[in-house]
Amino acid sequence: MKLNNNYIYNSKHINAANKIATAFRKFKKHIDNKATNLFGFKQFTSKPNKLNNTIDYYLNIKTQKIVYMPSKKSKIEKKGTFKKIDYESNEMLSLKFIINKKWSYSQNEIAKIYYDLGIESFQPIYEVKEGVFISNNRGIPLDIILNNENKIIKLNDFKNILLDIKKLHQAGYYYRDFKPENITVDKLNKLWIIDPDSLARGDMGKIDEISTASFSTLYLLQEIYYNKNYNMLKTADDYALALTLLECNGRIFQPQIKEKYLHGILLTKKTLEWINKNVKPDYKNQFQCLIKDPVDYYNKFKANNHLIDMLIIK
């Protein structure tokens, strides 16, 4: 049997193909016979290995995404404000929430939003059954790399993230937690956004935070939280992400701002040089305004533009 006149299949190839097809049909039947739990997952348990250990796998029936429960307890404590890594492997993380907080969306609702919008660089967390949270292990957070190495992350490496945040904003959603700690780099040098807890829409009512302790400002918080100006949530996202880019690509670090009405950053010589190199000429004034005074930026430009359109990215 010939294929495109380039390759000849013999009986061994055909037999192998038949075995694969038979195994797939058997597996599909096994999947179809499994019940779907209340969280939209089907659970499978592997056969015991030589040590009599098994692995629990979970299949999301909508996305066909498969995750599994890692079996090794995390040796080093890795935790944030609300959750910590409990078990881990090279591919997966099991997460445990240490503070219960009611978020705008459940983890599975966020995963569905990402899937429906075609957002691939934002890593969701899956609640595969009640109280069991699993996520892909996407590598090392950028803040660790920035602290331990004199390394610069290429601006072009942020392209997929910038494209995805544009999709998110166009759909009316806001991430609200951009910072180097929430961006990881994997073994293939691909960047990922993790920690999706704060995702929200501006029309959902009370928003009690706007980004992160690293890059939020009390003045922005005043406008959004107290003055109910939810349209400024996009500006808050853009502001925090812009400062993240300055840190990761330009190694331009900003002090945390604690005074109530101080906000934005000083346009130092190093910052202006970065802008001249990486921002398109038509958007330089807008970008400078964004990082110097995000509230003034919103009032002047209404946050209609997206960072991916402002920056020089190939």
Instruction: Locate 29 and state its tokens.
Output: 């039947």
Spatial strand order in the sheet of 41-45 = 41-45, 56-60, 66-68
Q: Which residue has the higher pLDDT, 237 or 1?
A: 237
Query: How far apart are alpha carbons 13 and 15 in whole angstroms?
Result: 5
Residue that wins the pLDDT comparison between 210 and 176: 176
CA-CA distance, 159 to 313, in Å (whole number)? Answer: 7
Structure tokens at 282: 């038509």
Write out the H or E segment, with its range, that includes residue 44: strand 41-45
The pair of structure tokens assigned to 183 is 């961006």
Mean pLDDT across the stretch 233-240? Answer: 87
Q: Report strand pairing: 183-185 vs 132-136.
A: unpaired
Task: Reply yes or no on whether the pLDDT at 1 is more than 80.
Answer: no
Distances (CA, A) of 179 to 132, 183, 295: 26, 7, 19
- pLDDT tens digits, one per residue of 242-295: 989 999 999 987 655 555 445 567 788 999 999 999 999 999 999 999 988 888
Q: What is the pLDDT of residue 116?
A: 95
Strands 56-60 and 72-73: unpaired
What letter does residue 199 receive in the DSSP assignment? -
| pLDDT tens-digit series, residues 106-142 | 899 999 999 999 999 999 999 999 999 999 999 999 9
- What are the residues facing 93 on neighbouring strands? 88, 135
The closest alpha carbon to 250, from 265, 235, 272, belongs to: 272
Q: Check whether 199 has a pLDDT greater than 90.
A: no
| Contact present, 183 and 161 (Cβ < 8 Å) | yes
- pLDDT 10s digits, 89-106: 999 999 998 877 777 788
Q: Which comes out higher in pLDDT, residue 264 or 88? A: 88
**Residues in CB range of 166: below 8 A, 6 or more apart:** 306, 307, 308, 309
Residue 17's SS3 state is helix
Helices (H), the chain: 11-33, 107-117, 142-148, 159-170, 218-221, 233-250, 269-278, 284-292, 294-301, 307-310
The pLDDT, as a whole number, for residue 309 is 97
pLDDT tens-digit series, residues 18-77: 888 887 787 777 777 789 999 999 999 888 888 778 999 999 998 889 999 998 888 777
Confidence of residue 8 (pLDDT cuts 50, 70, 90): low
Mean pLDDT within 158-166: 97
